[in-house]
């Protein structure tokens, strides 16, 4: 019996972009409650860069050397216990790895239907950014209408998704980025005010927040940067405010001022999607399908594409993301649009 094959991005060793190759590998098979998706496009995330460098290994149960956390495509094969999906259905979703390939096998609970108004490239730019942003803002951060949120890395995929979702919920979105140009572009998506933070000067945004909020501070901070912003975040957040830790580009270790946290009665939480259980991911996907997909279908929020590359140009895609040149999502087109 001949084993079916597929093309996939493969990390051949840990290191630079030269370790990435597109190779022929064995095609996965759907079983149980899992389904096989014919991937049309898959987006790039910073987790892919870290995995390539050997700093973020894939969790158990997914391909160890094929990166990719989000995808869009058609359901092509059903496991014996799959009951919700149909062959040919347009879907997108998240996975722990393996999405940058012609086929990926995932639990059907990890999938949502793609709105008809989105192309494959646009759809691939949605899941990780919007599920992460929705989960962090509302499930974890409990953002409410009339509140304010400070979003770091406002020009990133998650940052731009968070700005749009905050606006759609009646909240005010402030932001930081590395350049004024990214902040100006983010205004189109609902950013109220922003400040560029260059080098080791995170306290710049503390003064800005105080001005924007007339000294009250923001109700929620969505930190996509990490440890280098931590102390300033505690100063910028309001009394009884919340701090959500999502990214680690700025490091993973910081000093905590217990006194400040206690005086302000703050709530601190960390969140990550990749290492969550299948059940936790399913819940996040259900809430995304219920609350965000209708917004996408109406055009109230939309994916922000930086650039799309053919699968064979994955090295160039990594270089662009690594250079912090992107605004929005970088997508790999695995198959032609149709």
At 106, give phi and psi (nearest 5°).
-140, 160
Task: Give residue-wise pLDDT tens across range 169-207.
Answer: 999 999 999 999 999 999 999 999 999 997 667 788 999
pTM for this prediction: 0.93
Q: What pLDDT sits at residue 1?
A: 53
My answer on whether 162 and 120 are in the same domain is no
Same domain, 138 and 105: no
- CATH number of the domain encompassing residue 190: 3.40.50.720
pLDDT at 200: 61
133 and 119 assigned to the same domain? no
Determine the 3-state secondary structure of 77 from DSSP.
strand
Would residue 134 count as lying in a domain?
Answer: yes
Q: How many CB atoms lie within 10 A of CB 198?
A: 10
Q: What is the pLDDT of residues 277-304, one digit of tens each?
A: 888 999 999 999 999 999 999 999 999 9
pLDDT of residue 31: 96
* Nearest of 122, 77, 129, 80 to residue 104 by alpha carbon: 77
Stretches where the chain sits below pLDDT 50 are none
316 belongs to a structural domain: yes
**Residue 268 to residues 12, 207, 244: CA-CA distances in angstroms?**
38, 21, 6
The answer to whether the beta carbons of residues 46 and 322 sit under 8 Å apart is no
Residue 199 has what pLDDT?
66
DSSP character string of 183-231: HHHHGGGTEEEEEE--SS-TTHHHHHHHHHTTTS-EEEEEESS-GGGHH
Indicate if 193 and 262 belong to the same structural domain.
yes
276 within some domain:
no
């Amino acid at each position: 019996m001949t084993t079916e094959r597929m093309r996939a991005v493969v990390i051949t060793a840990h290191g630079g972009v030269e370790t990435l190759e597109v190779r022929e590998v064995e095609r996965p098979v759907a079983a149980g409650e899992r389904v096989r998706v014919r991937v049309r496009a898959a987006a790039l995330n910073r987790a892919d860069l870290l995995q390539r460098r050997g700093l973020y290994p894939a969790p158990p149960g997914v391909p160890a050397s094929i990166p990719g956390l989000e995808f869009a495509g058609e359901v092509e094969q059903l496991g014996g216990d799959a009951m919700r999906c149909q062959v040919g259905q347009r879907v997108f979703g998240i996975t722990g790895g393996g999405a940058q390939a012609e086929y990926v096998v995932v639990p059907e609970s990890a999938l949502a239907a793609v709105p008809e108004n989105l192309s494959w490239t646009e759809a691939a730019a949605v899941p990780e950014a919007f599920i992460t942003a929705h989960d962090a803002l509302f499930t974890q951060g409990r953002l409410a209408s009339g509140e304010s949120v400070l979003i770091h890395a406002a020009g990133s995929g998650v940052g731009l998704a968070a700005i749009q979702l905050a606006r759609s919920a009646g909240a005010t979105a402030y932001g930081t980025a590395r350049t004024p140009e990214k902040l100006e572009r983010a205004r189109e998506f609902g950013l109220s005010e922003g400040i560029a933070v260059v080098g080791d000067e995170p306290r710049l945004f503390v003064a800005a927040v105080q001005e924007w909020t007339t000294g009250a501070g923001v109700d929620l901070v969505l930190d996509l940067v990490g440890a280098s912003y931590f102390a300033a975040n505690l100063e910028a957040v309001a009394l009884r405010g919340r701090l959500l830790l999502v990214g680690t580009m700025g490091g993973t270790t910081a000093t905590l001022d217990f006194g400040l946290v206690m005086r302000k009665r703050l709530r601190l939480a960390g969140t990550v999607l990749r290492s969550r259980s299948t059940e936790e991911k399913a819940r996040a996907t259900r809430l995304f399908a219920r609350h965000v997909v209708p917004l996408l279908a109406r055009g109230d929020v939309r994916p922000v594409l930086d650039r799309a590359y053919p699968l064979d140009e994955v090295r160039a895609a990594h270089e662009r993301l690594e250079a912090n040149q992107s605004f929005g999502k970088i997508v790999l087109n695995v198959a032609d649009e149709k």
